[in-house]
Structures are given as C-alpha cells and as structure tokens.
Amino acid sequence: MEEFNALIQGFGVALSPFNLLLMFVGVVLGIIVGVLPGLGGANAVAILLPLTFSMAQRPGGTTSAIILLSCIYWGALFGGAITSILFNIPGEPWSVATTFDGHPLAQKGRAGSALTAAFTSSFFGALIAVIMITFLSPVVAKFALEFGPPEFFGVYLLTFCAFVGMSGEKAFKTIASMMIGFALAAVGLDSVTGTLRLTFGFTSLLKGFDFLIAVIGLFGIGEILETLEEGLAFKGASAKINMKVVLETWKELPRYWATSLRSAAVGCFMGIVPGGATPASFMSYGLAQRFSKDGKNFGSGVVEGVVAPETAAHAAGTSALLPMITLGVPGSPTAAVLLGGLLIWGLQPGPLLFVEQKDFVWGLIASMYLGNIAGLIVVLTCVPLFAAILRIPFSIIAPVIMVICAMGAYTVHNSMFDVYLMVVFGVIGYIFKKLDYPLAPLVLALVLGDRAEENFRNAIKGSQGDLGIFFSNGLVGGLTTLALVLLFSPVLVAGWRALRRR
Amino acid sequence: MENEEQRSAASVRTMEIAVAGIICLFGVLVAFDSYRLGAKWGDDGPQAGYFPFYVGLLICLSSGVTLVRALRNTALAAESFVERGQLKLIFTVLIPTVVYVGFIASLGFYVASTLFIAYFMKRLGKYSWLMAVAVSVGVSVAFFLTFEIWFAVPLPKGPLETALGFG
C-alpha cells in the first residue's frame, strides 16, 4: 500500500539521531509542562515556537522543529495525568475527568496502578489515533485538493458551528468568545484592501494581535491566577511505581477492552470534529459509567474510571492533528498553535502539504508513533521525579513560570507591548474561566479568523455576491448544511422534546 | 461566625453583568469602526468593514443575551465570584507581576526577573535574604546562559548588561 511505503520513508526521516534526541527532550519538557499549572501544552508550544525559528531555516529543520513541538504535546498529554492522580489538580483541562477516579485510587494507596493505567491508556488512545491518521490523512488530503474557497469556508464554518452546537448551556457565551476572537483577528492591516482596521490610531496595533500572545496570556497567566484560589501549596499523595505494580496493572487492563475501544473511538471523533480532548474525556467517562458493569463504583477509585478519560483525551489530542495537516483546520488550541507554527515556518498546511512536503508530513506521522513510545517509557520510569517538581515551593515556581511566560511573549515579535498584552490577556483569561466563557473558540477564531474571512471574500467575489455559492455543489452544500444543523441542533432538540411532551 | 476572608468580594451576578456589558460595548466599538470603513458591498466585493461589522453585531447580540439572562437570574447574586481572601491572594501575585513587566524595559529582562523572583521568595515564601538572592540570581544566570548564549534569543537588556559589555 502506498501509505505504508510513505510511512517507512517517514520513519527514515524521523529516526535520525538528532530527531530522536529532540523527541526525548520534547517529551520530557512536555511532561514537566503538563505537570506545572500555568504552563500547559498549548502555552509551552507557543513559548518555544519562536525558539525554533533558527532550527526551521535549515534543510529538514522544519521536520525536526515539528517533531520537538509535537513531542512536547504528547508529553503534556501524559503529564496532565500525574498531577490529577497524585494531587487532585488537573495539570491540563483534559485531565479533570482523570481526577474523578484517579485521585481516590491514589488515596487508597494505589497510585502506582492509577498512573500505569493512565499512561498505558493514553498510549493506546494515541496509537489508535495515529494509525487512523496514517491511513485516513492521505485520503482526506487527496479529497481536499478539490477544495476551493467556498469549500474551505464551509469547513471553517462547520468547525465553528460545531463548537457552538456542542456547547449546550453556554452557547451565547461561546458565540461571544468566538466573535471576540474574530474581532481581534481583524485588527490591523487588511490584506485585501490595504486599509487599517480597528486600530483606532494606535500604531502598536498595526500588526494586530498575535495568537501566541493570547495563548500565553489566557492559558498561562490566566491559569496561574485561577490556581491561586486553591491557596499557595500543593499537597499530594506520594507515588512509587515499580515493575511489579506495572505488570499487575497491565494484566488487569485487557479486561476493559470495550471501554478502551469505545473511548478511543469517542476521542478520535472528538479530535477531528473539533470538540477537543476535554469534552472527549468527559464524554468517555460518562459513557463508561453508563455502560460498564462496574459503573456504580465510578468515582470511588476504579481503574476503569481512569482508562476511559485518558484513552479518549489522548486519542482526541492526537487526532486533532488530522484536520490540521490535511485541511489546515486545527481541532484543538494546541493544534491551532502548531498550525500557526507551520505558517510561520512558511509551510502551507492543507492538502498541498502531502504533495509538496512529503518528507515533512510522513516524518511527522512517524514521529507520532515514536514520540508516544518514548513518552510511555519516560513517564513510567520517571514519575517520582516529575511529581517532585510540584513540591518546589510555590513562591519559587510561580515567579519562574511568570518569567518564562514573559520571555515567551517577548520573543514572538521582540516587542515589549506584547508582554503587557500578555498580562491583560491573563486577567481576561482568569475572568473568562471563572464565568464559564470558553477560551478554545476564542483562540481558534484568532488563529483562523483571517483565513476564514479571506476564503469567504474570495468565494463571494467569485459568485458576484450570491450567497448561494455555499450550496452550489454537493460538498459545499453538505458542509454548510451540516454546519447549520450543528449550530441549531440544541434549539432543534429542545423544540423536538417540547413537542413530544404534548 | 463568618470568616472575614471568606466573605464574597463580588457576586457572580455582578461580574456576569459587568463582563457582558463590557463585551457588548466592545462589540459596539467593533461594529462602529467597521461601519466607518464601509460595511456594504463595494465595486469588487465586500468592503473592508463588511466581515468585522457583522462580527461586532454578533458580539453585541450574544453578550446582550447573556446580560439579560444575568439580570433576570437573581439567584446568581448569592453566589460568590471570588472571596476576599482569594482576591487578596490574586492581587499579591498580580500586582508584582504588573510591576515586574513594567520594569523589564528599563532594567533589562534579567535584572527585573531576578528582583521579581527574589521579591516573591522573600515576601510570600518568607525565605531568608541569602536564599532569595541565591536562587533568584542562580535562576537568572541559568536563563541568561540558556537563552542569550545557547538559543541566541535577544531579550531586553538594561544598564547592568551594558555595563558588563553585553550591549
């Protein structure tokens, strides 16, 4: 099969000593970052992105750079589970569901089991997702080569409507958040007409708002401020993993094959349709609770209760990369940052990537396999080390994190204004999180806003102002209809329920 | 007897109304400026303000709904957005951060960072002067070596670095 050959070639690219080193460094960094509050996966990738500029200029450098960044991503996915289980503090939003059964297990003295189960499930979820990516992405990419501006806009529309449709109660806050992202994306020089938009005479706003600054502020500073409410100390259970516990847990895991497969499926789906790892983990936990024989014991410390969310979260996080590389539509905030990185390095994510940059794409896919294996090894062997990081007193670690964030914000454009902006975003992030305004749509809109608008304008120009172009052929029509259905589905469902009650 | 620290500094309802209101104003601003740029159909396609105008409109509408909901939901007034004790904690971290960021330009990144970390350790961690200085200087030097020398990433420098010859 063609894909197999391409994959083997990809392994050839990925298995260079330099890239392997980067893989381990990335995974370790990612785990550390996943453990620390305020330095999440998206944030860490955002901060390290400018540092990869020089790497990306060298031939083959972009592949190394994306390997480093994506391994940080895997590491963060693994690391979030450590603090969830040991300290009941989710290191990442998608690890919240892991605390439900993970921490009780730790409190019962079975932290080693919980951790092993979490890591192995994560690995399994990621593996399923990567296999899916291997075989599905060339298909999607070939398909997407037929896409024109209307089709691309249709995909973006679907993405954003999916967010709103799935947000339930807080649909209006989601819309507001998303629109704020679009508005921020519009600030600055308009590429088509050359006019300045929304700058109100401030020269510092000429370049507009960079999504990296927003991410560092919202997800970094904002998260630290939120964590502060819990007080200034992290108290947690101790963790010891030895081979015996690992093997025992591994023997127990195959019992939950149904939950694992179901969770992986949920995760893959949620990663592609941009729901993201967080809703995936919750949904999977809820489903497992309903369908498992042991359901009523969920919450008291059941290994299956750890398997479900971790498999789903990791599968979703990984499969979020599928639409990113094939269509140029990121399925999660971290994927959005990675997408931004690709753009900055001069690559065009989307169907052409598979044609023009085969080495890069398949090197990346191959590294997904290797990175996850590396991650599993590192994490199983070094858990006590990582857990110890949280024992560093808050008064030392908090300012250090702030310093790293400030540095990250500065290095994007060598601009102090960005650092001030980061603090503002931090406060906004804190307030938004507390009031339940979702941040993911804001970041996605900020990253995709310009391209969505560009495609919209090009599509409309081509049709001389006729909005019907979005229904002109089966593909576009299908996408647009699906988008509208998802957007209005909560309304439709509520209406249907009300009707049935009569 | 209610602990003074646990008293609410602001209710959820107040914050919801305030935030929705501010967002709505932001939307008005966006729509206004877009309208000024031209939000209609131009000669060869939508004018520059077309897209942002509708974005601004949507911001107003959606936050308007949130605002109305919050106004009607009086039960939220009983929920606390943040307690006084928590708010104090937030400010003890936020204010020094703002000060720190304000000084990066004039003192240089590394000096400002050293002072920042040392302040935190002394004030919040109650460490001794020796420990605070040792750790903060150590961390800053480590960062300097990593970013300035290894990654070759230029960060703002102040009088100290110029005096030492690092332009």
Q: Smallest CA–CA separation between A160 and chain B, in Å?
A: 13
| Span B76-110, pLDDT tens digits | 777 777 777 778 888 888 888 899 888 888 888 88
Q: Is residue A458 part of a domain?
A: no
**pLDDT in the model for residue B1:** 46
Q: Is residue A95 part of a domain?
A: yes
Is A198 within 8 Å of B117 when comparing Cβ atoms?
no
| Confidence label for A230 from pLDDT (cuts 50, 70 and 90) | low
Is A400 within 8 Å of B139 when comparing Cβ atoms?
yes
| Span A365-378, pLDDT tens digits | 888 888 888 888 88
d(CA A365, CA A133): 8
Count, residues in chain A? 502
Which chain B positions have a beta carbon within 8 Å of A402's beta carbon?
97, 100, 116
**pLDDT in the model for residue A180:** 92
**pLDDT in the model for residue B87:** 82
**pLDDT in the model for residue A148:** 78
Which chain A positions have a beta carbon within 8 Å of B107's beta carbon?
none
For residue A497, the one-letter residue type is R
Which chain A positions have a beta carbon within 8 Å of B55's beta carbon?
179, 182-183, 186
Q: How many domains does chain A have?
A: 1
Nearest by CB to residue B19, choosing from A179, A182, A435, is A435
Q: Is residue A203 part of a domain?
A: no
d(CA A213, CA B98): 16
Which chain B positions have a beta carbon within 8 Å of A399's beta carbon?
96, 113, 116-117, 119-121
Among A364, A280, A264, A272, smallest CA distance to A6 is for A364
For residue A152, the one-letter residue type is F
Q: Is residue A206 part of a domain?
A: no
> For residue A44, is pLDDT > 80?
no
**pLDDT in the model for residue A425:** 92
Report DSSP letters for A165-207, one per residue: HTTGGGHHHHHHHHHHHHHHHH-EE-TTT--EES-TT-GGGTT
Q: Which residue does chain B place closest to A180, by CA atoms?
A: B59
* C-beta separation of A412 from A418 below 8 A: yes
* C-beta separation of B96 from B125 below 8 A: no
Residues 17-36 of B with CB under 8 A from A: 19-20, 23, 26-27, 30, 33-34
d(CA A418, CA A410): 6
> For residue A237, is pLDDT > 80?
no
Quote the domain boundaries for residue A305.
Answer: 2-175+212-411+465-501
| Span B112-122, pLDDT tens digits | 888 888 888 88
**pLDDT in the model for residue B165:** 66
- State the best of A53, A54, A172, A421 to mutate against chain B, taking most chain B CBs within 10 Å: A172
Tokens 């300097």, located at residue: B144
Nearest by CB to residue B155, choosing from A175, A410, A435, is A410
> For residue B46, is pLDDT > 80?
no
Q: Is residue A246 part of a domain?
A: yes
As a whole number, mean pLDDT of residues A102-112 equals 81
**pLDDT in the model for residue A428:** 92
| Confidence label for A424 from pLDDT (cuts 50, 70 and 90) | very high
Tokens 């809703």, located at residue: A279
> For residue B68, is pLDDT > 70?
yes
Q: Smallest CA–CA separation between B128 and chain A, in Å?
A: 13
Is A183 within 8 Å of B155 when comparing Cβ atoms?
no
Which chain B positions have a beta carbon within 8 Å of A192's beta carbon?
45, 48
| Confidence label for B70 from pLDDT (cuts 50, 70 and 90) | confident
| Confidence label for B4 from pLDDT (cuts 50, 70 and 90) | low
Q: Is residue A161 part of a domain?
A: yes
| Confidence label for A487 from pLDDT (cuts 50, 70 and 90) | confident
* C-beta separation of A354 from A138 below 8 A: yes
**pLDDT in the model for residue A228:** 73
| Span A11-20, pLDDT tens digits | 777 778 888 8
Q: Smallest CA–CA separation between A1 and chain B, in Å?
A: 42
> For residue A63, is pLDDT > 70?
yes
Beta bridge partners of B46: B41
Look at B56 and A350; give whichever has higher pLDDT: B56
As a whole number, mean pLDDT of residues B34-56 equals 77
CA angle A363, A369, A374 (to 5 degrees): 110
Among B144, B146, B145, smallest CA distance to B157 is for B144
Q: Smallest CA–CA separation between B74 and chain A, in Å?
A: 16
Question: How large a percentage of chain A has pLDDT more than 90?
Answer: 1
Look at A419 and A230; give whichever has higher pLDDT: A419
Least-confidence region, from A108-112, A121-125, A418-422: A108-112
Count Cα atoms within 13 angstroms, Cβ side, for B57: 9
Which chain B positions have a beta carbon within 8 Å of A195's beta carbon?
37, 48
| Confidence label for A235 from pLDDT (cuts 50, 70 and 90) | low
d(CA A214, CA A221): 10
B87 touches chain A (CB under 8 A): no
Q: Which residue does chain A place closest to B134, by CA atoms?
A: A396
- State the best of A435, A448, A491 to mutate against chain B, taking most chain B CBs within 10 Å: A435
C-alpha distances out from residue A401 to A31, A129, A407, B113, B138, Å: 15, 32, 10, 11, 15
Least-confidence region, from A48-57, A248-257, A331-340, B85-94: A48-57
As a whole number, mean pLDDT of residues A134-151 equals 78
Q: What is the mean pLDDT of chain B?
A: 81
Among A158, A165, A469, A137, smallest CA distance to A326 is for A137
Question: How large a percentage of chain A has pLDDT more than 70?
Answer: 90
Which SS3 state, helix, strand or coil, does residue A92 take?
coil
Q: Which residue does chain A place closest to B60, by CA atoms?
A: A176
Tokens 């807080």, located at residue: A170
Range A91-105 burial, b when 16+ CB lie within 10 A, else e: bbbbbbbbbbbbbbb
Which SS3 state, helix, strand or coil, does residue A50 take?
helix
> For residue A182, is pLDDT > 80?
yes
d(CA B49, CA A198): 9
Q: Which residue does chain B place closest to A178, by CA atoms?
A: B59
> For residue A313, is pLDDT > 80?
yes
Which chain A positions have a beta carbon within 8 Å of B95's beta carbon?
none
Q: How many helices (H) and strands (E) does chain B have?
A: 6, 4
Question: How far out from the chain centre does Cα B102 lie?
Answer: 13
Look at A12 and A322; give whichever has higher pLDDT: A322
**pLDDT in the model for residue A241:** 64
Q: Which residue does chain A place closest to B33, by CA atoms?
A: A198
Is B66 within 8 Å of A173 when comparing Cβ atoms?
yes
Nearest by CB to residue B125, choosing from A183, A393, A407, is A393
Which chain B positions have a beta carbon within 8 Å of A50's beta carbon?
153
**pLDDT in the model for residue A2:** 67
Q: Phi, psi at residue A393, to the nearest 5°?
A: -55, 145
Is B81 within 8 Å of A434 when comparing Cβ atoms?
yes
Q: Is residue A449 part of a domain?
A: no
As a whole number, mean pLDDT of residues A438-449 equals 80
As a whole number, mean pLDDT of residues A211-232 equals 76
Q: Is residue A216 part of a domain?
A: yes
